[in-house]
Amino acid sequence: MNGRWPKVLSPGDDYADIDAYLLGKGVRKIFLVHGKSAKNLRVGRYFFGLPERMGISLRSFTDFCPNPSFESVVNGVKDFREHGCDMVAALGGGSAIDVAKCVKLYADMPDDACALPQKIRPNDIPLLAVPTTAGTGSETTRYAVIYFDGEKQSISHETCIPEAVCIDPSVLMTLPLYHRASSMLDALCHAMESWWSVNSTEESRRYSRDAMRLILACRKEYMQEDSRVFGHMMQAAHLAGKAIDITQTTAGHAMCYKLTGRYGIAHGHAAALCDAALWPYMMEHLEDCCDVRGKNWLAGIFGEMAETMGCGDVREAAAVLPKFLKELGMEKPSGTEEDLDFLAASVNPVRLKNHPVRMSREAFRYLYDEIVWIHRPMEE
């Protein structure tokens, strides 16, 4: 398992590790997928200085948005080919990294038909990721999320795991507070969901435990923009990414995607709202456990999580995430009764195969009623 993780490059004072990596690959032209603010970052200036300093050409690609579309990937592949690039790099959050992963996956595939249903043909195009948030862990997973006709598509292939990743804490200096909070919550939810997943292993639970400890230990200083803990938070996100690469996410993530599109909240905010409602629900429905290791196993997992969180019991631990949301001022979105039916119907049951407790549409409607503030007319 460990052999597939990316090589971690140190930013150092001058990104000498990236220099050595590029020279070792004999790179001539990089296809750089990045956000609009990349030039404001120290590592962004490093990339944009490569043509003059090292003679390595750069093709910049920014034609994507949060929850990126398949059309962005198609445009990226076309751009990659037309400009003769021989390497893909991502500088950004989860969306930039996911687009870069898909460009790498599809760059060498036939383009006379939609790539989504085609069997992925592995290629040797190098992929380097430089995450600019401490949350998604996308730089270390085999998964990418894109949208086709408005519907979420999960792309999965081991060859889209970046070959190398540069963990650069300095990128967090300019991250807005809301996105700082939501990305931290995303990493915490990854650790939690991986821990209780039916696919959890001793290795994945170790990654989850270590990630959760780091997040809990430095979350207050992190939100106070204390740069001394930035590296710890990025390491936590990286570890949580390794955990979900092994186990995949569970019902919390299956539930959260429609919240982002419908209410305009960030992914980590939505995932935390869902997991905050899910954990107490699972505790009350252990009889519906579908993990083959049994309900006592699942109860024991909840106990391990509570112990790591420094809580006296599981109920106290399940209250931690709602408490964090309140402290961070991350409120529930407002909706209507009709929203509950829409949201409950939107959860794809195929994506629930990793969840340890059986869930019904009625259960999802109940949970969304906890997650969303529903405006109900006053009874006369």
DSSP string for residues in 137-155: -GGG-SEEEEEETTEEEEE
pLDDT at 117: 76
Region at 378 (left for phi over 0; alpha for psi -120 to 50; beta for the rest):
beta
Helix (H) or strand (E) holding 60: strand 57-61
HSE-CB at 363 with a 13 A cutoff on CA atoms is 20
- Sign, Cα dihedral of 278, 284, 288, 294: positive
Helix ranges (H only) for 309-347 are 314-318, 320-327, 337-346
Mean pLDDT of 341-348: 92
* 272, 330 contact by CB (below 8 A): yes
* 282, 357 contact by CB (below 8 A): yes
Cα separation of 178 and 93, whole Å?
A: 14
CATH of domain 2-171: 3.40.50.1970
DSSP 310: T
Q: Residue 31 pLDDT > 70, yes or no?
A: yes
pLDDT at 1: 37
* 236, 131 contact by CB (below 8 A): no
pLDDT at 3: 52
Q: Residue 372 pLDDT > 60, yes or no?
A: yes
Percent of the chain exceeding pLDDT 70 equals 97
Give the mean pLDDT of the chain. 94
The angle that helices 230-247 and 177-196 make with each other, rounded to 10 degrees, is 40
Model confidence band, residue 350 (pLDDT cutoffs 50, 70, 90): confident
Q: Residue 351 pLDDT > 80, yes or no?
A: no
Mean pLDDT of 60-78: 93
At residue 266, what is the residue type? A
Cα separation of 51 and 49, whole Å?
A: 6
At residue 210, what is the residue type? D
Helix (H) or strand (E) holding 105: helix 94-106
Closest-CA residue to 171 (of 330, 6, 15): 15
Tokens linked to 360: 């019904």
Mean pLDDT of 33-38: 92
Cα separation of 108 and 120, whole Å?
A: 10
Instruction: Find all residues with CB under 8 Å of 349, minimum gap 6, and list them.
Output: none
Cα separation of 87 and 23, whole Å?
A: 12
Cα separation of 268 and 184, whole Å?
A: 7
pLDDT at 113: 63
Instruction: Find all residues with CB under 8 Å of 347, minimum gap 6, and list them.
Output: 251, 254, 255, 359, 361, 364
Mean pLDDT of 67-91: 95
Mean pLDDT of 169-190: 96
- For β-strands 29-34 and 57-61, DSSP reports them as parallel
Tokens linked to 30: 């990089």
pLDDT at 112: 62
pLDDT at 108: 87
Strand partners, 165: 8, 129
Tell me the DSSP string of 6-31. PEEEP-TTT-HHHHHHHHHHT--EEE
Q: Residue 269 pLDDT > 70, yes or no?
A: yes
CATH architecture of 179-374: Up-down Bundle (1.20)
Most confident of 63-77, 155-169, 201-215, 249-263: 201-215
- For β-strands 151-156 and 143-148, DSSP reports them as antiparallel
Distances in whole angstroms, Cα of residue 167 to Cα of each of 11, 87, 155, 220: 7, 19, 24, 21
pLDDT at 349: 81
Q: Could you state, in order of their start, the residue ranges of all structural domains in the chain? A: 2-171, 179-374
Mean pLDDT of 167-189: 96
Which range is least confidently modeled, 117-126, 256-265, 305-314, 323-332?
Answer: 117-126
- Sign, Cα dihedral of 321, 211, 196, 308: negative
At residue 198, what is the residue type? V
